[in-house]
Structure 1
Amino acid sequence: MRTDAEQHALSNAWQNWFRFSRNPTAVIGAVIVVVCVLLAILAPYITPYPDHVGAVVDFRNRHQPPSAAHWFGTDNVGRDIFTRVIFGLRISLILAVVVLGVAIPIGVILGLLAGYFGGWVETVIMRITDIALAIPPLVMALAVAAVLSPSLVNSMLAIALLWWTWHTRLIYSITRQLRTQEFVEAAETLGASRRHILFREILPNCVSAIAVKTSLDAGFVILIGAALSFLGLGIQPPTPDLGTMVAQGASFLPDYWWQSLLPGSAILILALGFNLLGDGLRDLFDVEDVR
């Protein structure tokens, strides 16, 4: 037998799912994200030419247009573009997961500390955050990637360096509102530790905003990562990366349009999926001001 709390949680879950399923844009976004993730995970098994991920050349099949043998055509050295796009999705998703996996915990913890303690803690954290927010993320990423040797690790470092600031600002704003609520004051009166108050009382009330912000951020991180690769400061060939493929294909426009247009479309669809999912979650949780 389920307890009343379990039944209440199950009921809320069904209600949330019902509301989410009635939002067409959210469902479309979720489907896009799930399909892209599955394609990335199963890439070695579903792509027709998995060996084309590496330094393979087939000059007899170079610049082939989309066909039954090569759905997205081939590039300037004869590699299958569809195969490389699917593997490129894997790189983009890894980039988003690692960057947000580093940035979100840092931003959330700093936001909780600044919002709850106030005083000099708030002043120091928020002034550093304001300074970091004044620096465009793409400009900082370009600077870091230019100083360090271009690679996946350095691209992730360059993007994560400033991404925590947005989550710090968001959680700080929520925590300032929650710290005067009755349930926080009750916990303080009962002698709960500050760690308990921060992570057991306040943080659970921030989860919905964090989920929405994370979904929206994933699309932006992917776009910035693609921009770095397009400029030659991201993943280096022959590793398949969507931004690098767009840059290489741009040299052959407009004659061989598929070499640039189709990888670019993959970036668009992936970023669009995360943005539609984030908008749907924002409507579901009734969260505001997370951009």
Structure 2
Amino acid sequence: MDNDDITVLTARQMAWMRFRANPVAIIGALMVISVLLAALLAPWIAPFPDHAGAVIDFRNKHHAPDATYLLGADKVGRDILSRVLFGFRVSLLLVVGVLAIAVPIGGALGLLAGYFSGRVETLIAGFTNVMLAIPPLVMALAVGNVLTPSLTNAMIAIAMLWWTWHARLVYRVSKSVATEDFIEAARLSGASHWHILTKEILPNCVSVISVKTTLDAAFIILFGATLSFLGLGVQPPTPDLGTMVADGRQFLPENWWGVLAPGLAIFYATLGFNLLGDGLRDMFDVEV
């Protein structure tokens, strides 16, 4: 093992030590893991997995929390706990879908703008700044009104502006890295632009992208819940946390469990991703 390998290994160990020493980050990681497990194992751990579909049981309409319905039942008698577990699955699918669109687009544009100067940088940075001036929620609502409400269209509506934050972040980092001596050395050695972008600059952006995507997950869950709350996201009978809050609020304050359970689920998931993102930021020692 040469000296470079030892240095890299030591840096990773130090980063992991910083993460382990942060109890808040550990708590956030455990919360995120629990959400992921709940979503993955929902068909097996949900008390009534069939209640994730178009099940109607008016005999248990607005059933209060008890030993059978731990979090109560909704307006048509479906188990709220089961629907919350499947709701986590929908929220995480939204997160993955949005980031799968936003990160590659924003990252690629940010790399190009940061590496190339002149017209390329001006065009990309200018267009990104124009898009950043549009409030994301307003754009999402506009797109949601034009397109048929669904999970896929909710992803598109949110991703249409979400890429801008990644473009600006990667642009800032790549612009700084592009001035380093090892980049100039790569140019003088005859390395292609593609090699410099993907092998020299991009690896230096991975840490900030990782932190950004983790923090983004929390905001995307909130955005998705907002769209569904307004009727522009996932449609019934698919269990969605925002839709469940919207349905439950009609029966407040008597049937409080219809809002409390999905509301706390949204809070729990967003808090977990935020805490984990803060921990990763301290671990990598980066600014996002």
For the superposition of Structure 1 and Structure 2, which TM-score range results when normalised by the shorter chain? over 0.9
2:205 and 2:40 mapped to 1: Cα distance? 30
Which residue identity is paired with 1:177? Answer: S
Per-residue CA distance 1:4-40 (angstroms, 9 max, x = gap): 6555544433332221111011111111101100110
Aligned residue for 1:64?
Answer: 63
In structure 1, distance between residues paired with 2:232 and 2:17: 44
Partner residue in 2 for 1:86 = 85
Contact 2:91 2:221 in 1 (8 A): yes
Following TM superposition, by how much is the alpha carbon of 1:189 offset from its aligned partner in structure 2, in angstroms?
0.8
State the Cα distance separating 1:66 from its structure 2 match: 1.3
Contact 2:95 2:217 in 1 (8 A): yes
Structure 1 counterpart of 2:213: 214
Mapping 1:7-18, distance limit 5 Å: 7-18=6-17
Give 1:177's aligned residue: 176
Q: What is aligned with 1:272?
A: 271
| Deviation for aligned residue 1:177 | 1.0
Other-structure match for 1:281 = 280
- State how 1:1-291 maps to structure 2 within 5 Å: 7-288=6-287, 290=288
Secondary structure of 2:179's partner? coil
Percent of counterpart pairs with the same letter? Answer: 61
Deviations 1:236-274 (A, max 9, x none): 100000000000000001110010111011001101111
CA–CA separation in structure 2 for the residues paired with 1:37 and 1:7: 34
Equivalent pair of 2:18/2:282 in contact (CA under 8 Å): no
TM-score for both structures, normalised by structure 1: 0.96
Describe the superposition over 1:119-145 as per-residue Cα deviations: whole angstroms up to 9, x where unpaired.
Answer: 000111111101100001111000001
- Name the CA distance, whole Å, in 2 between partners of 1:9 and 1:142: 46
8 Å contact 2:16–2:283 — kept in the other structure?
A: no
Supply the distance in 2 between the matched residues of 1:32 and 1:242 (Cα, whole angstroms): 17
Q: Find the aligned partners of 1:175 and 1:13 in 2 and give their Cα distance.
A: 22
Q: Name the amino acid aligned to 1:39.
A: A
Distance 1:235 1:142 in 2: 13
1:129 counterpart letter in structure 2? T
Q: CA RMSD in A?
A: 1.2
Alpha-carbon distance in 1 for matches of 2:139, 2:29: 31
Q: Distance in 2 between matches of 1:13 and 1:124?
A: 37
> Quick one: which amino acid aligns to residue 112 of structure 1?
L
CA distance in 1 between counterparts of 2:7 and 2:122 reads 41
Could you tell me which amino acid in structure 2 is paired with residue 135 of structure 1? I
Q: Give the aligned length.
A: 288
Structure 2 residue identity aligned to 1:136? P
Displacement of 1:170 in angstroms is: 0.6
State how far apart, in whole Å, the 2-side matches of 1:286 and 1:267 are: 28
Runs of 4+ in 1 over 6 A off after TM superposition: none
Which whole-Å CA distance do the structure 2 matches of 1:188 and 1:12 have between them?
A: 27
CA positional deviation for 1:284: 1.0
Q: What is the TM-score when the length of structure 2 is the normalising length?
A: 0.97
Q: What code does the residue aligned with 2:226 have?
A: A
**CA deviations over 1:86-142 (Å, ceiling 9, x no partner):** 000000000001101110011011001011111000111111101100001111000
CA distance in 2, matches of 1:3, 1:36: 41
Letter of the aligned partner of 1:235 in structure 2?
Answer: V
Asked if the contact 2:70/2:81 (under 8 Å) is kept, the reply is yes
SS in 2 for 1:251: helix
Query: Tell me, which stretches of 5 or more residues in structure 2 are unaligned?
Result: none
